[in-house]
Structure 1
Amino acid sequence: MKVMIATGGTGGHIYPAMALAEILKKEKPETEIVFFGTNDRMESKVIPQAGYRFYGASMTGMNGGISAKVKSAASLIKAGGYCRRILKKEKPDICIGFGNYISVPLIKAAKRMHIPVMIHEQNSFAGKANRFLANDADVIVGCYESNLEQMPKEKVRLYGNPQASLAALTEFDPSEIEKNGLDPKIPFVVFMMGSLGSESVSEVIDQACSLFDDSFQVIIAAGTSNDYEFKYESDERIRIVPYVDGKNMLKGCALAVTRAGATTMAELGAIGCASVLIPSPYVPNNHQVINALELVRRDAAVMIEEKDLTAEKLADTVNSLMRDPEKLDQMRKNAYAAGQRDAAEKMIACMEELVNG
């Protein structure tokens, strides 16, 4: 089987696509996988670095005024012709889109050429690209019940996020805690706001450091591209580092404080991790709040919206949870019950069904 995957823009689209590819290669080593994305964003680097063949196109999104939309339409037409040429050359058995505007020309071209099409929606509120492509897809893979209302219900299969399939395999490696000067025998709270970090949230975390109880440890992943400089200096109980292995930290921590992006939500459920969620307000349709509510309603997480976030509220929430190990244990169980750990495997079976008829 030869598979072509369109993905790009952000890690929320890219990493689930790469997770599917990784598990597909493990289960079906004979499978050939080719990626398509933009030629100037992160996918153009991380996908080839992972060893996959990659085609890149220049394309702009639809956000902005009339001139931006005209420019985007022109780039879509150009990319569509490029995609048809790629598909004639590669002859994939199936094409899969993981959202973002870059998936539109490939999926449209595949449909026109009668190649089976699957799209994957990571969020609780479907993105513009996937809503636009929904009628062209043979199968739509979603992660939330709300996806059934946003796209043709008869096409939607709620398999979950392929990133969860990888997260489910995670075994905690305490050496990451030890190399950062913390004791793996003492419970720890991990703070992760993504590689870009968040200046506003980082400042609140910074201020909260002096308010945390001394009965637990804290490791803060500031973000490799975060412009905020922490004023609190790392000590024997609190460590501030640029980067951590996210899945490893979620597996080993007593509590995680994170954003509520699609990949993070999938990993929290797959691993079974209690969390305090601070949804990003800078995303379309406020979808991170909707994502977060899926775990909050199951008593698997606590949500603090950024507009309500203060150092005192953050510290009080974390301290209160860490003082109640029984509640944390129940939150972990609830998160695990909400998780979907076989999304990639189900998608692969569905792909074979589409290809083989």
Structure 2
Amino acid sequence: MNNPQSKSIILTSGGTGGHIFPALAVAEELKKSNPDIRIVFVGGLYGPEANLVSKAGFEFIGLPVKGVLGRGLSGVKALFALFFQSLAFKKELKKINPSVIAGFGGYASIPSLLAGVFSGVPVIIHEQNSVPGLSNRLMSRLAKRVCLSLPQAKVYFNEKKCVVTGNPVRSDISGLFHIDRSNPQRRLLVLGGSQGARAINLALVKALPDLIATEVKIVHQAGASGLEETKQACLKLGLPLSELEESGKYHLTAFIDNMGSYYENSDLVLSRAGATSIAELCAAALPSVLVPFPFATHDHQTANAKALSDNNAAILLTQKELEANDFDLAKFVCVLLNNPARLAVMSDSVRLCAKPDAARILVDELLKLA
């Protein structure tokens, strides 16, 4: 690529933060290395990507993509809809004139990637998980390059196209890689992913009275779909949410935009084990208790969590264990927070699992094709 400053690049993803945040991390790195490059995001009009991309200050084009590919007639209809949307997007593609299109997964990425293929624009995809999603499996056949977070995913693709880059994380998170975590202050961050996690939300609420009594400060991202149910569960226990918020003891929110700040001011994380969450925890050197979503494809979240727990970098807690009647989450968390030495070991170990340069490596691969 002789003059990257004169180029345009399309990044496309959608559906969940796990697809969107790596794309945003790459956009940040692209803008830093090539300030004059035009970066255009393409995603679903009705997903969280529109809001997240706009807040990050990047140009966004929304497509009226609905639903996820299913089976039977609904799946066939969805495929035809995505195909016709890709044909319709060719007109917009001609205006943008991108030198390369990068897809980060999610069904909303398919139309612009297909439009690129039809128009002769090089296509590159990034797969965050050890077991790829359907959209990336489909598009990998047409992509020039397949970038992977994990080497285990190579078996699902043409290995000659594959490059292991790691999973890009945003600069406010990767900047925490060398943070000193030797002096924990009993701060718990609870995450269920961008869509929330009902089992984690309800278990946390049940443990709240005991956690607050032992002076643990908690930030709880319940997800948009779980926020109201979590509030009602708190009220049923008689918890004074406004008072707890004002005192800094418990902050309940649907979504967190500035994750870097919250990671910086946390000592332990209770979280699902999605690939992007894992990458962020590694980059931020944060000890964690990981509760894999038990119904994930090929149970890949358990594989993600086990990769860390086997290296003393996290604790794997199954959802069955979390929901057991005799399980005391408050006690479990307090035992960890009362053991700074163990937290320090976990922090050092999880740091070894990080790939803080993933965004830069992926940008290099992008520019090779542009």
Q: TM-score, normalised by structure 1?
A: 0.87
**Relative to 1, partners in 2 of residues 1:340 and 1:326: Cα closer, same or farther, differing over 3 Å?**
same
The 1:46/1:324 distance shift into structure 2, 3 A limit, reads closer
Q: How many residues align?
A: 345
Amino acid across the alignment from 1:308:
E
Pairwise mapping of residues 1-357 of structure 1 onto structure 2 (< 5 A)?
Answer: 1-163=7-169, 165-170=171-176, 186-212=185-211, 217-223=216-222, 225=224, 226-227=227-228, 228-229=230-231, 230=234, 231=237, 232-233=239-240, 238-242=249-253, 245-310=258-323, 312-355=327-370
Q: 1:3 to 1:260 in 2, by over 3 A?
A: same
1:327 partner letter: R
CA distance in 2 between partners of 1:241 and 1:39 (Å): 27
- Tell me, in whole angstroms, the C-alpha distance in 2 between the residues paired with 1:267 and 1:70: 36
By how many angstroms is 1:268 displaced?
0.6
Contact in 1 for aligned 2:177/2:351 (Cα 8 Å): no
Percent pairwise identity: 28
- Contact in 2 for aligned 1:164/1:343 (Cα 8 Å): no
Q: Cα deviation per residue 1:107-164 (whole Å; 9 max; x = unaligned)?
A: 2232233322210111221111111111211111111121122222222222112225
Query: In the aligned structure 2, how far is the partner of 1:201 from the partner of 1:348?
Result: 35
Partner of 2:107, secondary structure, is coil
For residues 186 and 61 of structure 1, do their structure 2 counterparts lie closer, same or farther at Cα, with a shift above 3 Å needed? closer
- What is the Cα deviation at residue 249 of structure 1? 2.6
TM-score between both structures, scaled by the size of structure 2: 0.84
Q: What is the DSSP-based 3-state SS (H/G/I as helix, E as strand, rest coil) of the residue aligned with 2:327? A: helix
Answer whether contact 1:139 1:157 (CA < 8 A) is retained.
Answer: yes
- Residue pair 2:289, 2:314 contacting (<8 A) in 1 also: yes
Moved over 6 A (4+): none
| 1:118 aligned partner, one-letter code | I
Q: How far, CA to CA, are the matches of 1:304 and 1:104 in structure 2?
A: 35
Distance 1:120 1:222, change over 3 A: closer
**Contact (CA 8 Å) 1:208, 1:312: kept in 2 or not?**
no
Instruction: Tell me whether 197-206 or 242-251 shows the greater mean CA deviation.
Output: 242-251
Q: Tell me what 1:178 maps to.
A: none
Q: Report the Cα distance in structure 2 between the residues aligned to 1:82 and 1:286, rounded to whole angstroms.
A: 36
Distance in 1 separating the partners of 2:178 and 2:283: 14
Q: 1:45 to 1:209 in 2, by over 3 A?
A: closer
- Equivalent pair of 1:3/1:92 in contact (CA under 8 Å): yes
